[in-house]
Amino acid sequence: MVVSLGERVRKIAILACLLLLVSCQGKNQPPNNQAQVKVARVVSGQSLEVLGMAEQPNLISQVRLVGVDAPDLRQRPWGEAAKEQLENLIGGVEQSVTLEFDLEAKDKIGRTLAYVWKNKVLLNEELVKQGNAIFVGRSPNHKYDQRLERAQQWARLMGQGIWNPEKPMRLTPAEFRRQNL
């Protein structure tokens, strides 16, 4: 079978276009589901302010820990205990943490939703395990729901923090916020 010069040029052009398309695909893929950031401030047992997200590394971004509901700061002594534990887990301001994102990246008020990791420890889980926050599954972010649920079961069995039978927290954080708007 004899292939004409025009046919050969057409096949080479098609091959070149296919190679070009394949090389461009990497640029259009979604970004990695993690970000390394520096903690500017611990706001509460479930919220941080961080530096180093996206194209604006010096802009402070609000981060809400996925899957946990920590007591309000006015819910004494549990709110302060949750905030203090998160500060201790992070190790202070200017410390680096890794944010891991699930399906939904922002909440209704614009905070970034993330699982927070420090030295291979899932801080969301540690807060629940020590009884300083409750597990609350938030659709569609369910990546670590089983881990968080088990951590809460352990905290309840051990009487940790808000589950202490001698000084239990009477209202969930959501109930407390509803009653104290």
pLDDT at 55 (0 to 100): 67
Q: Is residue 89 in some structural domain?
A: yes
- Is 15 part of any domain? no
The CATH number linked to 59 is 2.40.50.90
| Residue 59: pLDDT band with limits 50, 70, 90 | confident
Share in percent of the chain as helix, strand, coil (round to 5): 40, 25, 40
Distance CA 148, CA 131 (A): 11
Range of 148's domain?
34-179
Q: Give the Cα separation of 156 and 148 in Å (integer).
A: 12
Provide the domain count of the chain.
1
| Stated pTM of the model | 0.78
Q: Tokens 């301001």 belong to which residue?
A: 93
Q: Is 7 strand, coil or helix? A: helix
* pLDDT, tens digit, 9 for 90 and up, residues 140-173: 999 999 999 999 999 999 999 999 999 999 899 9
For position 138, what pLDDT does the model report?
83
**Does residue 122 form part of some domain?**
yes
In a domain, 96, yes or no: yes
Q: How far is CA 6 from the centre of its chain?
A: 56
The 10s digit of each residue's pLDDT in 75-103 is 999 999 999 999 999 998 889 999 999 99
Statement: residue 1 has pLDDT above 70: no
6 falls within a domain: no
DSSP code at position 45: T
Per the domain annotation, does 170 fall within a domain? yes
Q: Is residue 38 part of a domain?
A: yes
The answer to whether position 24 is within a domain reads no
